[in-house]
Amino acid sequence: MMDESKIQLIVNSVLKELGEAPVDSSKITEVTAADASPSSTEAASPGHVPSGDTPDMSLDDLGSDKFKKWYGVKNAVNDSINQDMMKHTTARLCLGRTGPRPLTIPLLRFLADHSRSKDTVVKEVAEDWLQQHELWEVHSQAKDKDEYLTRPDLGRKLSDDGCKLITERCEKSPQVQLVISDGLSTDATVSNYDELLPPLLKGLQSAGLKVGTPFFLRYGRVKAQDQIGQMLNAEVNLLLIGERPGLGQSESLSCYAVYRPDENTVESDRTVLSNIHRGGTPPVEAAAVIVDLAKKMLEKKASGINLNR
């Protein structure tokens, strides 16, 4: 750590460059944590959120609920209208502004949400999480996350080792084959699994359906389910995969369902249930919808647009 004399030398050098007079060290005041604490007489405006609630003066978590529903409008004609509007959407409303610019807290929250969205794309599903949930994994042809993001085509095909594992471990010719994949959101897979998978598997079994062996596909894209379905001769193929994250929502999961896919399967052949998370379609409710969907697909022997004809 630099001593005070070196710091003083640097300060005066900068001041000299700016054409200012040097400052005597006796005039420099040390700022302590007590000096930095917010005043007890600070005005409690609707947009004011105190910081430094803890003794070590750490900043508040920008992901906490008080920031997600932060209200920054001052001197509104009718606050109740704004508050009621905010109850019905998670959109960024009533954040306030200073001139043409956003206030500091809404700006920091925006940057935090953006960082979280980027983080969930590049994160990996941990090996110990897979072991805890008794899931074995196969890989697509993408060797790592960087290649997965830059070469979408490699995520649509299984690696040779993955094909071998599926052939060896999976039950053949099931009525329903279930695959879980990280996709573009690791958070979506990890955060929704415990509330979605148990009721989904139980619901499929209670419906009297023969369910194949579930497994985890790392670096998977939606098209990979077609190859899996062909290999296992499965009737209904269900792929639970993390959606591309958005600002403020990085835990959204999708279920892609397709009936007997082959090399000619196109996207309109798939039925999709998206926006599965606690703030969208709750995982438990999604499980019931997916079970009914699988039964309907088996009855109609179709999926996608053909299911509605």
Residues that constitute the known binding site: 222, 243
Encoded tokens for 65? 């609920």
Residue numbers in the known binding site for adenosylcob(III)alamin are 222, 243
Helix (H, G, I), strand (E, B) or coil at 44: coil
Query: Helices (H), strands (E): how many in the chain?
Result: 12, 8
How far apart are alpha carbons 309 and 297 in whole angstroms? 12
How far apart are alpha carbons 225 and 158 in whole angstroms? 10
Q: Decide: residue 142, CB within 10 A, 0-12 exposed, 13-18 middle, 19+ buried.
A: buried
Contact (CB, 8 A) for 291 and 258 = no
Contact (CB, 8 A) for 270 and 304 = yes
Encoded tokens for 87? 């109850």
Encoded tokens for 108? 């920091």
Sign of CA dihedral 249, 123, 114, 238: negative
Contact (CB, 8 A) for 258 and 230 = no
